[in-house]
Amino acid sequence: MDIRHTHRIFVSQRLEEGASVRVEEDLAHYLLHVLRLGNGDALRLFNGKDGEFKGSVERAGKNKALVHIGAQTRPQEAGVDVWLCCAPIKKAHFDYMIEKATELGVSEIQPILTQRTQVREVNGDRAWTLCKEAAEQSDRLDIPAVGNPVKLDDLIGVFPKDRALIVCAEWGEAAPIHKALHSEAIQKFEKAAIVTGPEGGFAAEELELLRKAPNTFFVRLGPRILRADTAAIAALACWQAIKGDWGKA
């Protein structure tokens, strides 16, 4: 069987060839009653630290499952270090943004609070679950971190100097994103953060604050005004195509 077509799950336990792991009750229920796996059925496992391994259901009960760990299929490797700093938006659109950002390889998601941010809270457990499920589906070896919401000015105050701050702007003095990412000024950075605003965009004083921050680059995403979730996905796709890991096999 082609292992790419086997189910893939995240577990919190250490993974080592020849060992067995007892999965949590809710995951066991998913394996046994949703995926309908039974003794001997194959799957793949990862935990964000030890790489990916083949596995097989060793023993199954009503809501209990023991999984035997087989050979490692991929060693753990670091992904591209690009953050998404985004204002929370309406639930369905924010969920979609988190899911697609994970598929696109973002290393961290940092919600930011701005003057026009209407949604002020983020359900961290739900966000992590969405990231986990997207990582399982997309063959990622890790799960992006999701931070607690912070005010924009607080983020700028502690922003690392070795990371490019790429602000998606709807208008004003901003370079087309493909030209900006090819520029020598951005090419020298191995780390970046894509910054997207709320529905309605950044306030003028927030744009000025961002403009004064070190290593800030304003970019345009074409001639049309994009929704916040679309802008985040488009910018991350451009980053991965030009600076990221899309060139890898």
220-224 — which CB contacts under 8 Å span 24+ positions?
A: 220/168, 220/169, 220/170, 220/171, 220/174, 220/175, 220/176, 220/177, 221/168, 221/177, 222/176
Question: Both 162 and 65 in a single domain?
Answer: no
Question: Both 61 and 114 in a single domain?
Answer: no
Question: Both 12 and 108 in a single domain?
Answer: no
Shortest CA distance to 44 belongs to which of 18, 14, 68?
68
**Could you tell me which residue, 32 or 178, shows the higher pLDDT?**
178
Q: Is the dihedral of CA 13, 18, 23, 27 positive or negative?
A: positive
Total-model pTM: 0.90
Residue 230 has pLDDT above 80, yes or no: yes
- 136 close to 10: Cβ distance less than 8 angstroms: yes
Domain termination site, one of 47, 74, 101: 74
Shortest CA distance to 117 belongs to which of 152, 84, 93?
152
- What is the biggest distance separating any 2 CA atoms in the chain, rounded to whole angstroms? 62
Shortest CA distance to 103 belongs to which of 134, 81, 141?
134
pLDDT for the residue 171: 66
**Is residue 249 situated within a structural domain?**
no
Domain assignment of residue 114, given as a range: 82-242
**Is residue 69 situated within a structural domain?**
yes
Shortest CA distance to 214 belongs to which of 200, 240, 193, 231?
193
Shortest CA distance to 36 belongs to which of 57, 54, 53, 66?
57
Question: Both 167 and 134 in a single domain?
Answer: yes
Assign residue 28 the CATH number of its domain: 2.40.240.20
The region of weakest confidence among 19-28, 89-98, 124-133, 136-145 is 19-28
Domain termination site, one of 74, 108, 127: 74
**Is residue 193 situated within a structural domain?**
yes
State the virtual CA torsion across 23, 32, 40, 136 in degrees, nearest 10: -60
Question: Both 51 and 174 in a single domain?
Answer: no
**Is residue 155 situated within a structural domain?**
yes
**What does the pLDDT look like over 30-87, one tens digit per residue?**
888 888 887 888 999 999 999 999 999 887 777 788 899 999 999 999 888 999 999 9
